[in-house]
């Protein structure tokens, strides 16, 4: 069997799609993928778009995201998707072509021998779990199995194999070299279950924080069982927030630098925080570490031991280095009775904050001139179809979506949380569509971010993807403007037409690609038409004319603790909350 046919056959057991673009060193792969009946090759407009599609394909299907591209320029275009996957622990396999074996440099000080030859390993290492150039056909089966194993296990992430053009067309050896998996030895006493239970017993205001590790280790059911059994309140990082009803009395919802006052008040007043599978990023803890949940004892359960060495980690009282799934299985075996008379006042308080500090106000609802973003996203959650896949992009539209989060039905929701490149959502939408063709993909994107991957409108049109693109059109980079207003005396530079940034008319562009369009000019039109739009079959681009003056409110300004969101509340009000 030809090597490229073998790879297509091998990968068809791990995924149904490979994304990417053509080139002289991947031509045999694409030939094999096209011939294989169990795996489909999706041609993107640029390898960047394809890498983002593959990243999102995994987030929706749970299957391996596979991206193919040619050596040199193709690989450079992989980097955006690879970084998204690396920082959010998304498994992915990148296959890159390389010049023929004889044309690969032996002396690395020579710049280039083969056409489009490039030093790839050093370039991708910081954002890749494993990378290897294969120069012997005998190694191919072993390296492929090893790469896929590494991508899918431990803290997950992307891997890359560079395969020379002539190797891709060689015959596979009769006897295949195999990669053997060593099962790790698990010591259950390292899970420190007894200590955790004692800390819960002592606590009057415990809060479980559900991080991405819970999702990535497929432990959502285990965590739900734990919450139900112990009736302990919980909060979610953005990555897991859509899995829990926001109306649940135990759910204090999202928290962090750009979240809600009620979520942050809960965290700041808790006396025990149990962090499950989260690395406590700066977006969560803010810049003022000593004032992050100052009253709480903190337990961190995290698979990656390097995270415990993070110099920006708040003080952790109990560190447990293990797969969160293992921890949850063990703690779920414990019979622990939580005293209702202790926990109920805490639950009551959380719900009081949720009610008093609601994000959407009458002012947002009654806004007349154009569309108010908080009203828009609040209403979007009312009318979005069950099982839709919502993908916000970078910037203000992302924060508005999570601040207004309302989970009343089953939804899927994600973005490239930690890398957050502009233009993620539309390209990611392609991968999400192939992962779940039955449901609608909603790609939310700022007018400033649209141009970053605008070429993928052609892919969306070509494959007739059921994607509704909501362009949050506020005539510029509103979040950057907000920063300029706060720290640079409103000296706008490179953020809108007046300050030198020109942005295109997205409806005209979409029409040129052959995509239908709609416009929502004000709250009233949103109220009247958004439900119908959400029930339309994509592709469809909707230009939502957002108030250019609307800002992210409330928000933590750099250096302030989580309870001090701007616009600031009175000292008395804050002190009352912190005291209670
Ligand atoms: C590829 C990339 N370049 C630059 C940035 C920095 N950046 C973050 S948000 C933003 C502006 C985005 O504007 P827009 O999409 O219109 O969103 P808005 O803030 O108006 O919602 C910029 C330049 C980034 N995240 N990604």
DSSP 8-state assignment for residue 546: B
Q: 70-117: per-residue pLDDT in tens? A: 999 999 999 999 999 999 999 999 999 999 999 999 999 999 999 999
Q: What's the 390 CA to ligand 1 centre distance in angstroms?
A: 18
Which atom of ligand 1 is nearest to 423's Cα? 1
User: Ligand 1: which residues within 6 Å by Cβ?
Assistant: 394-397, 420-422, 446-449, 452, 472, 474, 477-480
Which atom of ligand 1 is nearest to 479's Cα? 19
Helix (H, G, I), strand (E, B) or coil at 298: strand
Question: Which residue's CA lies nearest to atom 11 of ligand 1?
Answer: 477
Distance CA 439, CA 534 (A): 11
338 has a pLDDT exceeding 90: no
Which atom of ligand 1 is nearest to 395's Cα? 9
Mean pLDDT along residues 380-399 = 97
CA-nearest of 268, 297, 206 to 564 is: 268
Classify the phi-psi angles of 274: left when phi > 0, otherwise alpha if psi is within -120 to 50, otherwise beta: beta
537 has a pLDDT exceeding 90: yes
CA-nearest of 164, 107, 99 to 137 is: 164
Instruction: Grade residue 188 by pLDDT with cuts at 50, 70 and 90.
Output: confident
Mean model confidence pLDDT for the chain? 96
Contact 177, 138 (CB under 8 A): yes
Question: Which residue's CA lies nearest to atom 9 of ligand 1?
Answer: 395
Helix (H, G, I), strand (E, B) or coil at 161: strand
Using a 10 angstrom Cβ sphere, with 0-12 exposed, 13-18 middle and 19 or more buried, the burial of residue 339 is exposed
Distance CA 495, CA 153 (A): 42
Which atom of ligand 1 is nearest to 476's Cα? 16
pTM of the model: 0.96
Q: 440-473: per-residue pLDDT in tens? A: 999 999 999 999 999 999 999 999 999 999 999 9
Q: What's the 457 CA to ligand 1 centre distance in angstroms?
A: 19
Q: What's the 396 CA to ligand 1 centre distance in angstroms?
A: 8
Helix (H, G, I), strand (E, B) or coil at 206: strand
Distance CA 429, CA 422 (A): 14
Q: What percent of the chain has pLDDT over 90?
A: 96
Which atom of ligand 1 is nearest to 397's Cα? 21
Q: What's the 485 CA to ligand 1 centre distance in angstroms?
A: 16
pLDDT of residue 347: 97
pLDDT of residue 442: 98
Q: What's the 404 CA to ligand 1 centre distance in angstroms?
A: 20
- What does the angle CA 92 – CA 240 – CA 198 come to, to the nearest 5 degrees? 115
Instruction: Grade residue 435 by pLDDT with cuts at 50, 70 and 90.
Output: very high
Q: What's the 548 CA to ligand 1 centre distance in angstroms?
A: 15
- What does the angle CA 512 – CA 516 – CA 521 come to, to the nearest 5 degrees? 105
Report the DSSP beta bridge partners of residue 182. Answer: none
Stated as kind and residue range, the H or E segment containing 51 is: helix 47-61
Q: What's the 445 CA to ligand 1 centre distance in angstroms?
A: 10
Q: 552-572: per-residue pLDDT in tens? A: 999 999 999 999 999 999 999
DSSP per residue, 349-386: HHHHHHHHT-S--HHHHH--SSB-HHHHHHHHHHHSPT
Strand ranges for 426-580 from DSSP E: 441-446, 467-473, 516-520, 540-545
Q: Which of 374, 394, 402 is the best mutation target for the ligand 1 pocket, counting ligand atoms within 8 Å of the beta carbon and taking the most?
A: 394
Q: What's the 477 CA to ligand 1 centre distance in angstroms?
A: 6
pLDDT of residue 184: 74
Q: 478-522: per-residue pLDDT in tens? A: 999 999 999 999 999 999 999 999 999 999 999 999 999 999 999
Contact 466, 433 (CB under 8 A): yes
Q: What's the 205 CA to ligand 1 centre distance in angstroms?
A: 38
Distance CA 306, CA 313 (A): 11
182 has a pLDDT exceeding 90: no
Q: 311-321: per-residue pLDDT in tens? A: 999 999 999 99
Instruction: Grade residue 235 by pLDDT with cuts at 50, 70 and 90.
Output: very high
Instruction: Grade residue 215 by pLDDT with cuts at 50, 70 and 90.
Output: very high
Which atom of ligand 1 is nearest to 477's Cα? 13
Q: What's the 494 CA to ligand 1 centre distance in angstroms?
A: 11
189 has a pLDDT exceeding 90: no
Instruction: Grade residue 291 by pLDDT with cuts at 50, 70 and 90.
Output: very high
Mean pLDDT along residues 217-224 = 96
Residue 184 Cα distances to 154, 181, 187, 320, 322, angstroms = 10, 9, 10, 16, 11
Q: Which of 48, 479, 502 is the best mutation target for the ligand 1 pocket, counting ligand atoms within 8 Å of the beta carbon and taking the most?
A: 479
């Amino acid at each position: 069997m030809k090597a490229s046919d073998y790879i297509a056959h091998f990968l068809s057991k791990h995924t149904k799609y490979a994304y990417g673009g053509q080139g002289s060193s991947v031509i045999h792969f694409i030939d094999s993928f096209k011939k294989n009946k169990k795996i489909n090759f999706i041609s993107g407009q640029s390898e960047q778009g394809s890498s983002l599609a593959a990243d999102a394909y995994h987030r929706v299907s749970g299957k391996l995201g596979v991206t193919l591209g040619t050596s040199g320029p193709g690989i450079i275009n992989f980097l955006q998707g690879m970084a998204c996957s690396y920082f959010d622990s998304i498994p992915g396999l990148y296959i890159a072509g390389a010049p023929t074996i004889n044309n690969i440099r032996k002396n690395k000080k020579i710049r280039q021998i083969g056409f489009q030859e490039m030093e790839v390993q050093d370039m991708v290492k910081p954002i890749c779990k494993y990378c290897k150039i294969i120069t012997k056909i005998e190694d191919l089966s072993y390296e492929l199995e090893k790469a896929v194993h590494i991508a899918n296990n431990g803290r997950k992430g992307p891997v890359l194999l560079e395969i020379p053009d002539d190797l891709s067309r060689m015959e596979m050896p009769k006897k295949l070299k195999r990669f053997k998996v060593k099962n790790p030895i698990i010591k259950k006493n390292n899970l420190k279950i007894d200590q955790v239970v004692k800390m819960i017993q002592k606590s009057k205001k415990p809060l479980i924080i559900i991080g991405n590790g819970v999702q990535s280790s497929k432990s959502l059911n285990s965590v739900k069982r734990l919450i139900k059994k112990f009736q302990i309140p919980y909060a979610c990082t953005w990555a897991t927030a859509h899995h829990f009803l926001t109306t649940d009395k135990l759910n204090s919802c999202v928290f962090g630098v750009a979240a809600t006052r009620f979520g942050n008040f809960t965290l700041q007043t808790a006396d025990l925080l149990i962090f499950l599978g989260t690395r406590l990023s700066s977006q969560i803890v803010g810049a003022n570490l000593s004032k992050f949940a100052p009253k709480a004892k903190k337990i961190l359960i995290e698979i990656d031991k390097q995270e415990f060495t993070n110099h920006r980690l708040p003080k952790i009282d109990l560190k447990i280095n293990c797969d969160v799934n293992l921890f949850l299985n063990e703690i779920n075996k414990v019979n622990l009775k939580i005293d209702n008379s202790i926990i109920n006042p805490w639950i009551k308080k959380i719900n009081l904050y949720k009610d008093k500090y609601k994000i959407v106000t009458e002012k947002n609802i009654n806004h007349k001139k154009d569309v108010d973003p908080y009203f828009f996203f609040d209403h979007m959650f009312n009318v979005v179809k069950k099982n839709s896949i919502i993908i916000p992009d970078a910037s203000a539209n992302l924060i508005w979506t999570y601040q207004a989060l309302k989970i009343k039905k089953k939804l899927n929701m994600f973005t490239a949380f930690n890398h957050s490149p502009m233009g993620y959502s539309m390209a990611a939408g392609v991968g999400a569509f192939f992962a779940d063709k039955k449901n609608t993909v909603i790609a939310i994107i700022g007018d400033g971010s649209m141009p970053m991957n605008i070429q993928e409108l052609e892919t969306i049109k070509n494959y007739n993807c059921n994607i509704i693109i909501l362009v949050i059109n506020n005539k510029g980079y509103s979040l950057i403007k907000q920063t300029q207003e706060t720290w640079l005396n409103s000296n706008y530079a490179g953020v809108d037409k007046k300050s030198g940034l020109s942005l295109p008319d997205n409806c005209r562009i979409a029409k040129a690609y052959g995509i239908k369009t709609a416009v929502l000019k004000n709250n009233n039109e949103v109220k009247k038409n958004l439900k119908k739009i959400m029930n339309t079959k994509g592709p469809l681009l909707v230009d939502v004319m957002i108030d250019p003056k609307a800002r992210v409110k409330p928000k933590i300004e750099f250096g302030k603790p989580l309870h001090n969101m701007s616009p600031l509340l009175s000292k008395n009000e804050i002190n009352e909350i912190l005291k209670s």
